[in-house]
């Protein structure tokens, strides 16, 4: 493996495909499947993050804002 420490899994896999053998490349169908799978996993991770961390934080902000508004204006119901 190279010492350039790729930042992403896709960079690592691309380097591995390049290092298979001189003059021999991985089949393009295999490369496409690998990178499509990585894209899918990345999308699933983004959606999971959206509905766990970001959604909870947004919900907490809205609730805190509503409570503060009620404290400042007790006549509002």
| CA 49/CA 60 separation, integer angstroms | 16
Length of the chain: 77
pLDDT per residue over 28-39, tens digit each?
888 889 889 989
Q: List alpha helices for the chain, DSSP H.
A: 9-18, 28-49, 55-72
Q: Is the pTM of this model over 0.75?
A: no
Where are the chain's structural domains? 27-77
Mean per-residue pLDDT, 69-74: 83
Q: Which two tokens stand for residue 32?
A: 């496409």
């Amino acid at each position: 493996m190279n010492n350039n420490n790729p930042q992403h899994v896709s960079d690592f896999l691309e380097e591995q495909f390049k290092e298979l053998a001189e003059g021999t490349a991985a089949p393009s169908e295999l490369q496409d499947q690998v990178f499509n799978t990585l894209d899918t996993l990345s999308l699933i991770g983004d959606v999971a993050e959206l509905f766990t961390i970001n959604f909870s934080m947004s919900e907490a902000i809205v609730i805190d804002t509503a409570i503060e508004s009620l404290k400042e204006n007790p006549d509002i119901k």
